[in-house]
Structure 1
């Protein structure tokens, strides 16, 4: 039996599992969303590749496990930031933009979304769908009923804004300010005129 570094086999496996996911996330972030092979993850952790299979069954499974951790963590952080944004829907949507853009630019959220696009099965995984669908009521509560149409469009703009920062070197504060103005304008009705009349 291999030597374990924790008090029990279960604790040892939990620590190893955490190390595998942390290594995968680190490599995904460093690679700008490129999903590492399990052999690359094994090397990063210092395990045999066969040992990595005890914790993740494939690259897609690895991405799914990371998504299942990221979605609730993102919602928790977002909730904390929005609690201090007051009750004005424009202020709350602007806070949503700031937090989400920062997560895409500075954290693992953006690279992980890029990684997940390489494995479309990750997005349709029942567990990921459940976690993602769980966001909707919470975000509706946080942002208000009026953002059901606006938020997906703002999300797409945030993702593009993050790409401008990370790939083209745009200033994150400038991008954030533009996105916040767009978000406020969408709630104010400034973007409602389909005929382009102002």
Structure 2
């Protein structure tokens, strides 16, 4: 029987699976546009290729697991930031800030890498659904503010977020990018508040 590195087999298995997910995330982020092999992921996680197959039958299975593990964590961070805000305007600004913090933490690079290498329609569909879920609090806040076309406006907020994200990725200037994007967005949101 193989040696386990945790008090129980369940904990051992969970730790190994988490190590594989972290290894896959690291490789995807380091080499955007390229899907690492299971052997490469195993090597980074300290496991043999045959051991990796005990957890994932294919690269598609591994990528699906990375998506299933990552997206909810990102959503939780965004939801917590938005929930802490006390008005529709500040919820949208909190959404902007939390997203830029994810970018600064390297999570956006992982999301982009996953979108680039999504090998199946299922993964692409899940990515689109996640994107739509992310914008839901923005749409809700815009509705509360009385925006004339909340769905289109939320896409424009997302475009501003994407531009600010590129700046964070380019020079690491989270505060500078947030301040500039928030100034543009806040002026519009305050106008909506005034009705």
Task: Name the TM-score, length of structure 2 as normaliser.
Answer: 0.76
- Equivalent position SS for 1:118: helix
Task: Specify whether residues 158 and 137 from structure 1 end up closer, same or farther in structure 2 by C-alpha distance, changes over 3 A only.
Answer: closer
Greater Cα offset, 62-71 or 143-152? 143-152
Equivalent pairs counted in the alignment come to 187
Task: Name the TM-score, length of structure 1 as normaliser.
Answer: 0.75
Question: 5+ residue gaps in structure 2?
Answer: none
2:116 matched residue in structure 1: 118
Work out which structure has the larger RCO, using CA pairs closer than 8 Å and 6 or more positions apart in sequence: 1
- Are the equivalent residues in 2 in contact too, given 1:123–1:129 (CA < 8 A)? no
Whole-Å separation in 2 of the counterparts to 1:172 and 1:34: 27
Whole-Å separation in 2 of the counterparts to 1:122 and 1:31: 19
| Bigger helix fraction | 2
- Counterparts of residues 39-188 of structure 1 (less than 5 Å): 39-87=39-87, 89-108=88-107, 110-121=108-119, 124-125=122-123, 128=126, 132=130, 135=133, 139=137, 143-145=141-143, 146=147, 147-167=150-170, 169=171, 171-187=173-189
Question: 5+ residue gaps in structure 1?
Answer: 191-198
Whole-Å separation in 2 of the counterparts to 1:114 and 1:173: 22
Whole-Å separation in 2 of the counterparts to 1:127 and 1:9: 34
Task: Specify whether residues 84 and 142 from structure 1 end up closer, same or farther in structure 2 by C-alpha distance, changes over 3 A only.
Answer: farther
RMSD of Structure 2 on Structure 1 (CA): 3.2
